[in-house]
Chain A
Amino acid sequence: MRISVEINGREHEGDVEPRTLLSDFIRHQAGLAGTKVGCEQGVCGACTVQLDGQPVRSCLMLAVQADGRKLRTVEGLSANGELHPLQRAFNEAHALQCGFCTPGFLMSMEAFLREHPEARDEELREALAGNLCRCTGYLGIIEAVEHAARKLRGADVQGG
């Protein structure tokens, strides 16, 4: 089946079988390998992308279901060569080691912070629960997200 998906503002067309997963279309046909594939059963969150602004598991969608829709992947986060504040915070707070889970965390939390700019402590931890990390022990990730949340709210990061 011929499909056309807008990813990060650019149209990507391709022929797919109905059983082709969206995650595989993104990686192998659109050539955007930033989106990672971990468990392929909706548990790990590594393949999280944004569908019309909402975070979704791309391994739990068929590519044909994204025909005509707008996707955003980790490649669409930075702008004009500048890292997104969330990406910068991950870097600064040592929120990654191997980095495999990072794109999923970023796409989940970018959507979450956009919708819940005032979220604090427990809410942030709850929002992080849909992504697994086997390296960091999460403390760096929590710190990074809290840091980015403050920055996105426009608060004084140093004083925060």
Chain B
Amino acid sequence: MARAAGGGLVKPAPFEYRAPASVDEALELLGLDSTVLAGGQSLLPMLNLRLARPEVVVDINGLAELDHIRDEDGRLRIGAMTRQAALERSELVGQRWPLLHKAVRLVGHTQIRSRGTVGGSVSHADPAAELPAALIALDARLELRSAEGSRWVAASDFFLGPLYTVREPDELLVEIEVPALPEGAGTGFAEHARTHGDFATAGAAAVVAPGGHTRIALLGAGPVPARAGEGERALAEGANAREAAAAATAEVENDYRRALCGELARRAIEEASA
């Protein structure tokens, strides 16, 4: 432990701390040398271990305009600073977007979800995170804003690699939009973690609706959470859950991981089809 000049115990390397009062103000502060502090449940461990040494930390916890869950013409709008605990408690989400409810309950522990945010989990882009896979299976879109303007990116196009996304350093993820589920749709989510609350080794999210609408998204199966197109097609063409799961995970590397993903995909598909 280092002792700072002021006499206090410190772990993170020094940084300049900024707590903007509005999104516009925050956007002015974003750039190559800055890091966004949302819920801090992934950033703080990285700061404490000095794996991250940003010059400027832009704390967006004061941006109330990014903290909301609402139904807008049948589409779910989630502000990026919405706490995972708020998503978990939302009746609107539980009733209309049950897949998000199933997924968020598996994010870390209660103490983590008190602080952790939906936008933070998405932006951090851990390949084994639950919410990114669920949002991909739900055809969600993400709004990225910079001082220059705003753009919408499909959740399925957002992730480029572990902890790496299409978000530019001067952009902030501000909003997540999830369309209504198709009429009669069922959803399923399954994951395997060594102990409850740990990061999952792997998992699967599924949406199955009459008329051939099928979505299967895998987490922990590769460098990014991604849709499993082959499995979706097989399912739409009448394959059973086991066959569709096998098709969905045929390309997963490593025998154990492929077997695990296959079983989890089967469970998610069966839950969604029940």
Q: Which residues on B are within 8 Å of A, measured CB to CB?
A: 4, 6, 8-17, 19, 37, 40-41, 44-45, 47-49, 57, 59, 61, 85, 108-112, 114-115, 195-197
Q: List 17 A-B contacts (CB under 8 A).
A: A15-B6, A17-B6, A19-B14, A19-B15, A20-B10, A25-B8, A41-B48, A42-B44, A45-B111, A48-B111, A51-B114, A60-B115, A61-B44, A62-B17, A62-B37, A108-B110, A130-B112
Tally of contacts, chain A with chain B, CB under 8 A: 104
Q: Of residues 82 to 104 in A, which have CB atoms within 8 Å of B's CB atoms?
A: none
The 5 closest A-B pairs by CB, nearest first: A130-B109, A18-B17, A41-B45, A60-B44, A54-B114
Contacts A19-B14, A65-B40, A108-B111 known; 14 new A-B pairs at CB < 8 A? A19-B12, A20-B10, A21-B10, A21-B12, A21-B44, A42-B45, A42-B112, A48-B111, A60-B44, A60-B45, A62-B37, A64-B17, A64-B19, A130-B110
User: Once the chains bind, are B111 and A56 in contact (CB under 8 Å)?
Assistant: yes
Q: Of residues 60 to 119 in A, which have CB atoms within 8 Å of B's CB atoms?
A: 60-62, 64-65, 108, 111-112
Report how far A1 CA is from B57 CA in the complex, Å. 15
Given A20-B10, A45-B109, A129-B197; A57-B115 close (CB under 8 Å): yes
Shortest Cβ gap from A25 to chain B (Å): 8
User: Once the chains bind, are A19 and B111 in contact (CB under 8 Å)?
Assistant: no
Given A19-B47, A21-B48; A57-B12 close (CB under 8 Å): no
Q: Of residues 21 to 64 in A, which have CB atoms within 8 Å of B's CB atoms?
A: 21, 24-25, 28-29, 40-42, 45, 48, 51, 54-57, 59-62, 64
Report how far A65 CA is from B183 CA in the complex, Å. 43
User: Once the chains bind, are A60 and B8 in contact (CB under 8 Å)?
Assistant: no
User: Once the chains bind, are B4 and A130 in contact (CB under 8 Å)?
Assistant: no
Shortest Cβ gap from A54 to chain B (Å): 4
